[in-house]
Amino acid sequence: MTTRRNFLKGALAATGAIVGSGGTAGVQARETRKVPPEALGLLYDATLCVGCKACVAACKEANGNPPEFNTVDQLWDTPLDTSGDTFNIIKMYRNGTMETKDAETNGYSFMKTSCMHCADPSCVSACPVSAMTKNPVNGIVEYNPDKCIGCRYCVLACPFGIPKYQFNDPLGRIGKCELCRHRHKDGHYSACAEVCPTGATLFGRTEDLLAEAKRRLALKPGSITTYPRGRLRPAQEKALQGKDTGEGNKARHGWRHEPDQSYEGVVGNYQQHVYGEQEYGGTQVVKLSGVPFEKVGMPKLPPYSSAATSETIQHTLYGGLLMPIAVLGALTWVAKRNVKPEEGEEE
């Protein structure tokens, strides 16, 4: 009896260990991942946005998505939110008399809603079949419908509510922005940035976009500055602008040649906050706004990702299958003593 009691104690201790160590015991907590150095992204500046929704239309066209109707006559594409068929939308903030653009009171503002391309995306961590992956070089969060089982865990997991599912299609897919990665091979970048008439949506390397955002925040509101449009070109590339071939082509890293589209405009009254620099450990799409971000629908998020917490728990419990094997060993030992082959039923 004494020995059996010891076995039980051992089994219990092991059991306690497997479930009790939900924290960090023994295993290093996984840090929130960082944006890769060559990450691509967008800079959306709400103070430059005029709400024309050219980006919404261009996104639909570039991704072959059908229009969505929310008006009686069903003439125009009128999506109310991103969906399995709408990867990008411009939402509007309104307050009081709506007199002043980018003012919190009696004002209005626009806000772009599309994938933020997180440094450490919840959707990628959640996906059981690697249908949602993060490109190791440019950091684009990519979707592969040929692997996707349609479980919609990514839809549930994303703190920005971005991956969406086509509920009304028996072969429905997940839909989300992939920064138009299918157009990159032709030298095209994100369609939303390509068509934006004011440069409110700018495509580029996240590092450059972040620097541009900070440059704008440092300017005096009301002063005049130069705003690029389309693709944000780093300084070394600008020096070679105009050269279609040779050095110019190389400097563009394969992006197609465009004339300089920058223009002079008035500096907006910004919130001193680059949204996406810290949120969830950083995102490759960053945003500027005149109205506080929570008011324009961007959630307040901690500076670390939930994927890190979730994976720390999982790998603490199951890393190398050490804990399960130890517990199985203990259970087998105990069960072997307690289970009789015929369970005393056959005599």
List the interface residues with other proteins, window 284-323 (CB under 8 A).
297, 299-302, 305-307, 309-311, 313-315, 317-318
Total residues at interface with other proteins (CB under 8 A):
79
Report DSSP state, residue 15: H
Return the residues of window 20-49 that contact other proteins according to CB under 8 A: 20, 22-23
| Binder among 41, 79, 139, 159 for other proteins (CB under 8 A) | 159
239 binds other proteins (CB under 8 A): no
CB 180 to other proteins: min, Å = 22
CB 187 to other proteins: min, Å = 31
8 binds other proteins (CB under 8 A): yes
210 binds other proteins (CB under 8 A): no
| Binder among 26, 37, 96, 145 for other proteins (CB under 8 A) | 145
Return the residues of window 106-135 that contact other proteins according to CB under 8 A: 122, 124-131
Contact 330, 9 (CB under 8 A): no
Q: How far apart are the first and last CA of the chain?
A: 26
Q: At which residue do the structure tokens 């901690």 appear?
A: 302
Q: CA 39: distance to chain centroid?
A: 12
Q: At which residue do the structure tokens 């994100």 appear?
A: 190
Stretch that binds other proteins, among 63-71, 196-204, 213-221, 339-347 (CB under 8 A): 339-347
2 binds other proteins (CB under 8 A): no
Q: Residue 324: what are its φ and ψ, rounded to 5°? A: -60, -40
| Binder among 39, 155, 192, 193 for other proteins (CB under 8 A) | 155
218 binds other proteins (CB under 8 A): no
224 binds other proteins (CB under 8 A): no
Tell me the residue ranges of DSSP E strands in 163-291: 164-165, 174-175, 201-205, 224-227, 263-266, 286-288
CA 303, CA 275: separation in Å to the nearest integer?
11
Q: What is the DSSP string of 86-151?
A: B--EEEEEE-TT--EET-SSSEEEEEEES---BSS-HHHHH-TTS-EEE-TTT--EEE-TTT----
| Binder among 31, 61, 99, 169 for other proteins (CB under 8 A) | 169
